[in-house]
Structure 1
Amino acid sequence: MSDFGDFNSSSDPTADFLARERAALGEDADLFTADNISSVTSPVADVYSPASSALVPSQPQEVVPASDYSAFEADFPKAEELETSQAFHKAMLPDEEPEVVRQWREKQKELIAQRDEESEQRKQESVQRAREEIDRFYEEYNEKKQKSIEENREREENYQKDREEASSANVWERVVREFDVSNAKNTYQTRDVSRMKQLMLDLRKDANAPGTIVEA
């Protein structure tokens, strides 16, 4: 216990701790004095000085090519640069539309309106022609229908008239009707039938001629 000193001999714990450490280190305790500390630290400082840095070999480090960083920055620029670029682009845009562009837009608008008007006009003309064709068709159809009705009516009347005349009692009158008495002429190519026609006319006028009364 004599090596560690008497704990109750001093009232200063710091001095007691240093005394115990000095006793434990022995001769090496002199290296930690104030004079020795300055002499030891100076060579250490010289190691990190610029002159000595060239003599101390450094550890090998991996060198990244600068082109890799430039490619990365080109693909992924900074947000501040993007905002600045967009603001510059907006500033470069003209506030008003150029006169050439405005005239071109107006001309295109007029051409489109003109084409629409011509298309609508052609449509109306086509509709009008279709209506006229339909009206003409129905008009011709009605005319043909009316003409056919009149022809059928006339044909029916003639049929009834012929039927009534055929049922007449004077048979000689029907015979005379078959001859063209008024235009009967004698020609070289035909026989003279005027006498026979005259005989038929006389029989038609004779009420007592045979065959005049025909029972219905």
Structure 2
Amino acid sequence: MVLWTKQFTIADWDQYGPLLKTAQKQYVQYFNKPTLQLIKVHAQVFFDITIDGLDAGRIVFNLYANTYPTSENFRALCTGEKGNNKQNKPLHYKGTQFFKVIKGSYAQGGDITKDNGEGGESIYGPKFADENFINKHTRRGLLAMANKGRHTNNSQFYITFSQLSKHDGKNVVFGEVADEDSFRVLDKIEKQGTESGKVDKKILIANSGEQKSLRIE
């Protein structure tokens, strides 16, 4: 996979002179297409999952570079590097649960303050804005921000089990499940789901962090 972390601009190739301006423009337009931005990765992070106390495996996520503030929020909440909030609650996904799992739809978690879907907090404060909706809910295994309306993102997120186009333009998609082993863990999570989303077995993020060796600066 090709990894890069920034938008390309004409200025990046000014050194080559005016004869290449047409080629430069085409290059910029090509590499900034929405479909290609999906392969630009800001960082790779992981959740170690347990179900009713039993190890279910590790989910690894690629976080997109074209949604940097959102991706960075998720990355930092995976590592816990920001410490605690003003109420002394850890800004960390470790120890939180998936509190809603709807079969065929999504698994939702990330409530780091109340752990039941009623709370949450970002590294930027109680909430932050939707930055863009360039990435769509096209398939299984996408990572998106849960919210309660426009510009109400905090720490809550969901992972898709299928295409969810009804969420396009409403929820920011900022990452994806990275590999087949991770998809097998996602399958285990979905098996605990119901039509209502109520979860009988505790699906816990026992540990979370960043794949340091794979991060591109």
Provide TM-score, normalisation by structure 2.
0.20
Provide TM-score, normalisation by structure 1.
0.20
- Which structure has the highest helix share of the two? 1
- Which structure has the highest strand share of the two? 2
Q: Mark the structure with the bigger radius of gyration.
A: 1
* Higher RCO structure (Cα 8 Å, ≥6 apart): 2
